[in-house]
Amino acid sequence: MTAFGVFWGIFMLVIMLGSGRGLKNGITSGMGNFATNSVFVWTQQTTMPYKGFPRGRQFNFRNDDIRALRDNIPEIKYLAPKIQGWSSGDGTNNTVRNNKTGAFSILGDYPEWNKIDPMKMLEGRFVNELDILEKRKVAVIGTRVREILFEKEENPIGQYIQIKGIYFKVIGVFSPMNTNINFGGEKEQSIFLPLTTLQKTYNYGDIVGWFSITSQDHVKASVVEEKVMSLLARRHTIHPDDKEAFGHFNLEEQFNQMNGLFSGINGLIWIVGIGTLLAGVIGISNIMLVIVKERTKEIGVQRALGATPANIMVQIVTESIFLTSIAGYIGLVIGVGLVEGINYALIKFAIENEMFKHPEVDFNMAIRALVILVIAGALAGLIPARRAVLINPIDALRTEE
């Protein structure tokens, strides 16, 4: 029963660590391969007058800003200007094919967007540089768009769809890898066009909606974010202190905060688990004190026959380590088995939960737990072993059974 405390402590530690990993996997897996060193910048109203311009001024990014950002900020790795024509949430059917219609998100993009937010191309390809340069009327559609506009066995590649009265050739079908970060509606219901094509076809001129940007490796996204907004502020005559003129979102900061949160949760789990384990170890130490008292005469005989204090201490500590390790090992095995069983059940029965996926126990964590068990067993036996060493052999031999 005393060993059960150690068993329960390590069992709960393993279960909590496995559950914590499942929570982290659930939240981070929805991000797919989205570049976490990304920032997003868009325009808002100015809040400060500057160089003759009043406050409350509306302004737009332009195509010239694309070249300016690329030429002046070498820390930028990928730059993806974007504009949204229509949203699937508008409720108005904007796309037609034969007698089928649907309301989809229509987005104008550059090829770099598929590097910032990679998508799985099921058929065909994504927008490329020639599409941008030649303003080709081509479209890349999501899986839901395909389901609505095409028959199940029909190949959409090379077929034409009509968007707001203009025909576009389908060149690719994609499935999103990231489901947590959306721009302009559900990705499965999105249609990507070359940005230049959308601008020209629907009379947007050279307006750009917003910029998606990733920093070079080993460069903080916040550095790029600051330089981008400073350059764009100068180009659009925005007061340097007007912090509200640009909307911006730093995914790297959010990702680091999320990692910090999970590190805190993990630390709390270790504190609670080790605290529970410590209670069991204290129980082991107490029962070893009882054992030493019961073996007083036996220890006296051993001392009289020449056993050194070190021999007695090794004997007591070894017994404590054995008792602790056996109980802890059983708890570890059952805990890992339960976590793996839950993971197997989730996969086998296709139970989908965006907040909890693939609970698992890291091998290194299991090794650390075993090391903790050995150390805990040694500590549990030290006080009883010290008590045994202090027993006088003569007094021990006089002790009644």
The answer to whether 88 touches 103, Cβ cutoff 8 Å, is: yes
Q: How much is the pLDDT for 397?
A: 60
State which amino acid sits at residue 346.
L
C-beta separation of 82 from 108 below 8 A: yes
DSSP 99-167: TEEE--EEEEE-TTHHHHS-EEEEEE----HHHHHHT--EEEEEHHHHHHHS-TT---TT-EEEETTEE
Return left, alpha or beta for 78; rule: phi > 0 is left, psi -120 to 50 is alpha, else beta.
beta
Degrees to nearest 5, angle at CA 5 with 270 and 363? 40
pLDDT at position 203 is 94
Read off the pLDDT of residues 196-242 as tens digits, 9 standing for 90 and up: 999 999 999 999 999 999 999 999 999 999 999 999 999 999 999 99
Measure the CA–CA gap between 23 and 25, rounded to whole angstroms. 5
pLDDT of residue 51: 92
pLDDT at 184: 59
pLDDT on residue 326: 87
Mapped onto helix, strand or coil, the DSSP state of residue 349 is coil
In terms of C-beta density within 10 A (0-12 exposed, 13-18 middle, 19 or more buried), how is residue 141 classed? buried
Cα angle 201-202-206, degrees, rounded to a multiple of 5: 85
pLDDT of residue 180: 66
Q: Which amino acid is at 16?
A: M
Which residues, given as ranges, of the chain have pLDDT below 70?
30-32, 179-185, 354, 393-401
pTM of the model: 0.76
Q: Write the DSSP symbol of residue 187.
A: G
CB count, 10 Å around CB of 30?
A: 16
Nearest to 93 by CA among 101, 105, 85: 101
What CA–CA distance (Å, rounded) separates 371 from 13? 14
**Amino acid letter, 28:** T
Is 58 strand, coil or helix? coil
Long-range contacts of 361-365 (CB under 8 A, 24+ apart): 361/14, 361/17, 361/18, 361/21, 361/335, 361/336, 362/17, 362/21, 365/17
Nearest CA to 171 among 110, 97, 112, 121? 121
